[in-house]
Structure 1
Amino acid sequence: MSCRAWCVVGVYAAPVSTRPETTLAQRKRQLVSDELTEAALQLLALKGFDGVTIDEIATTAGVSKRTFFRYFASKEDVVVRFLADMGTDIHAELAARPAAEPPSVALRHAVSVPLATCGDHGERALRVVRLILRTPALLARFLERQAQWRDDLAAELARRLDLDPATDLYPRLAAAMALNAFDTVLQRWTDSDGADDPAELTGRAFAVIAPALDAPGPAAVEGAPVGG
């Protein structure tokens, strides 16, 4: 499972990836992309979205403005790409969970991937998350990306549980509940200025929604009588 994006947010460590072997040219392109992402997220988190220019990002990364535009269309695109990587990591973790694992446990582990990195890397991660949640344009893109995450998680849940995503309500409802828990934890963590532990918050959040995710079972969602 790739955690490249969140490693960049954390302590700007070396990228971690389990992707297939790449060519030297591909590795060099990935390195430049990671350096630009690192520079952009550092500057945006410290100075605010409107306080940073693309020239500053390029200079901090040690490349030209022209090189920046080979990788990203805008400052916003850096964050959008980062959010796409986050969603990929959540989906990959869900797909890797044991098939017999209860949905609440599998989903908790899936959304815990980026949340655990937040807790591990404190202030730098906090600044990036705060930037996204408190910048209207970035928050809108975050919510837009989450719609794709929900669809991807719902498809994976349907596969795991042998349900038809076109007719069964459970996969989308379960995916939405898990992402609502994810959002609640992120918001509480930022509101506490990082004082609260994301892992502990995640456990509490999933303790609330686990009964709905696991009992009386996904199959019972379809055809359940209104009013009990």
Structure 2
Amino acid sequence: MTSRPVGTMAQRKRQLVADELTQAALNLLARQGFDAVTVDEIAAAAGVSKRTFFRYFSSKEDVVVQFLAEMGTGMRDELAGRPAQDPPSAALRHTVWRTVDACAGHEDQTLSVVRLILGTPALLARFLERQAQWRDALAAEMAHRVGMDPAAELYPQLAAGMALTAFHAVLQRWSDSGGAEDPATLTDRAFAVIAPALDAVVANAAS
């Protein structure tokens, strides 16, 4: 995944260092395992001091959390950008697929990092924390799309939660297969299971 361009020379330099640290950290963590890698090794691999590392990240976990943040960036925007006439399942499937596709499009590194995240309890916990934030954002947008009060109706939160469960299941299956299974096919299969529930509530409300 590429970082967004930033404005000033200082900002560009800072972003470059952050990107180099992230790349070095993810490569080491994926290759050697989370517990085996030290901050000193990450800093050395990136060609910076340990002090510089801590200017950008407070821990090894934070490097991966930043990667996770990038995975979820734009999820709500993708959902908001779907045509109003899309059924909920179609709109959410597109949202999930765009994120999965961004991962699969960088397979060599991303597959290793996803396996690291899913296989390391501390990182998995942070991943689930991130998913909770994404769920709230998706639920707010879903409530807007279907004209429901998110404070009164359960549907928006449940719909967002189902979509993110599908997202997690697809990543898990793709990771377990070593990248052999097609993410698009996995996404289609996941939404074939949950689409009836996602669409039935809205259809019934409209009738």
Tell me the TM-score normalized by structure 1: 0.84
Residues in 2 aligned to 1:111 and 1:54: alpha-carbon distance in whole angstroms: 33
Q: 1:84 aligns with which of 69, 78, 82?
A: 69
Question: What corresponds to 2:112 in structure 1?
Answer: 127
Q: 2:100 aligns with which of 108, 112, 115?
A: 115
Q: 1:218: Cα distance to partner? A: 6.3
Q: 1:186: Cα distance to partner? A: 0.9
Which is worse superposed, 75-84 or 127-136?
A: 75-84
Question: What corresponds to 1:3 in structure 2?
Answer: none
The answer to whether the 8 Å contact 2:71/2:103 transfers is no
Question: What corresponds to 2:156 in structure 1?
Answer: 171
The answer to whether the 8 Å contact 2:96/2:167 transfers is yes
The answer to whether the 8 Å contact 2:170/2:190 transfers is yes
The answer to whether the 8 Å contact 1:89/1:113 transfers is no
The 4+ residue runs of structure 1 with deviation greater than 3 A are 218-221
Q: 1:35 aligns with which of 15, 20, 32?
A: 20
Which is worse superposed, 135-144 or 121-130?
A: 121-130
Q: 1:216: Cα distance to partner? A: 4.6
Which is worse superposed, 103-112 or 88-97?
A: 88-97
Give, as a single letter, the amino acid of the residue that structure 2 aligns with 1:116: D
Q: Which runs of 5+ in 1 are unaligned?
A: 1-6, 8-14, 222-228
The answer to whether the 8 Å contact 1:58/1:68 transfers is yes
Question: What corresponds to 2:193 in structure 1?
Answer: 208
Q: Which runs of 5+ in 2 are unaligned?
A: none
Residues in 1 aligned to 2:47 and 2:124: alpha-carbon distance in whole angstroms: 29
Residues in 1 aligned to 2:77 and 2:46: alpha-carbon distance in whole angstroms: 29
Q: 1:85: Cα distance to partner? A: 2.2
Question: What corresponds to 1:180 in structure 2?
Answer: 165
The answer to whether the 8 Å contact 1:45/1:131 transfers is yes
The answer to whether the 8 Å contact 1:37/1:78 transfers is yes
The answer to whether the 8 Å contact 2:79/2:92 transfers is yes
Residues in 1 aligned to 2:119 and 2:187: alpha-carbon distance in whole angstroms: 21
Residues in 2 aligned to 1:218 and 1:88: alpha-carbon distance in whole angstroms: 30
Q: Percent of aligned positions with the same letter in both sequences?
A: 68
Matches within 5 A, 1:2-41: 7=1, 15-17=2-4, 22-41=7-26
Give, as a single letter, the amino acid of the residue that structure 2 aligns with 1:80: V
Q: Classify the secondary structure of the residue corresponding to 2:190.
A: helix
Q: 1:210: Cα distance to partner? A: 1.1
Question: What corresponds to 1:224 in structure 2?
Answer: none
Show CA shifts across 1:59-96 (max 9, x none). Answer: 11121111110110000011112212222232232222
Q: 1:118: Cα distance to partner? A: 3.1
Give, as a single letter, the amino acid of the residue that structure 2 aligns with 1:153: L
Residues in 2 aligned to 1:167 and 1:218: alpha-carbon distance in whole angstroms: 18
Q: 1:185: Cα distance to partner? A: 0.7
Residues in 1 aligned to 2:71 and 2:8: alpha-carbon distance in whole angstroms: 24
Residue 92 to residue 32, structure 1, CA distance change in 2 (3 Å): farther
Q: 1:215: Cα distance to partner? A: 2.1
Give, as a single letter, the amino acid of the residue that structure 1 aligns with 2:196: P
Q: 1:182: Cα distance to partner? A: 0.6
Give, as a single letter, the amino acid of the residue that structure 2 aligns with 1:135: T
The answer to whether the 8 Å contact 1:54/1:65 transfers is yes
Which is worse superposed, 169-178 or 140-149?
A: 140-149
